[in-house]
Structure formats: structure tokens, C-alpha cells
Amino acid sequence: MPIPQCLVHAPHDSCGVIVVEGLKGGTDMLCLITENDTTFNLKALEDIPIGHKVALKDIASGETIIKYGEDIGRAIAPIKKGTHLHVHNVKTKRW
């Protein structure tokens, strides 16, 4: 099996984590869902640094973001599938 570029914990997560250095926009990534050991492909629409999140689906502003099967915050802007998901478009619900 080729090495995945993106890891996803649960099938219902809305984001995954990039696990390779230098991921470039336009890359057709191999994504691995660790909970059930299945894979899928996702096209990265922009460069995404290692350790950062990528949107697995289109996410509306205000929508809850799910990572590792848990609520990690809300989108503060629309986020397109395959784009970088970080502090510029996601905020915690704590404050």
C-alpha cells in the first residue's frame, strides 16, 4: 500500500491531518481512515503544511468541525473540500 498523505480518525470526521512534508496544491492525496482501515482519495486545493488539517467536505460558516470523532470548533468562513483548515477559518467554541 502506498504511504497515505492524510490521516482521518473516524468516517464521520470533517477534517483530516496532513502527515507528509511539502504537500502541494493539486496533489491527489491518499487518505487513510484509521478507525476502519479504509482509504479514499482527496485532491488538495492548496499547499498544506505537515500537521495541519484539510477539509474532507465543503463546510459552511458556523458548522461544527469534527476531528478524531470530536467537536474541535466551528467554521468562521465557508471552507471548500480539499483546503487548509486552520486558525484563519476555524475557531474554538469556548470563547
- In this predicted model, what pLDDT tens digit does every residue of 57-74 receive, in sequence order? 999 999 999 999 999 999
The domain of 37 spans 6-91
In single-letter form, the type of residue at position 64 comes to: T
Q: Is residue 42 a part of any domain in this protein?
A: yes
- pLDDT band, very low/low/confident/very high, at 2 (cuts 50, 70, 90): confident
What is the C-alpha to C-alpha distance for residues 15 and 55, in angstroms, rounded to an integer? 5
Q: Phi-psi category of 33—alpha, beta or left, where left has phi over 0 and alpha has psi -120 to 50? A: beta
Q: Is residue 1 a part of any domain in this protein?
A: no
Query: Where residue 32 sits, what CATH number does that domain have?
Result: 2.30.130.110
* Kind plus residue range of the DSSP H or E element containing 31: strand 28-33
What is the C-alpha to C-alpha distance for residues 49 and 20, in angstroms, rounded to an integer? 8
The stretch 10-18 carries a mean pLDDT of 97
Q: Is residue 45 a part of any domain in this protein?
A: yes
Contact 34, 22 (CB under 8 A): no
Please give the model's pTM, rounded to 2 decimal places.
0.94
Q: Is residue 85 a part of any domain in this protein?
A: yes
Q: What is the DSSP letter of 63?
A: P
The number of folded domains in the chain is 1
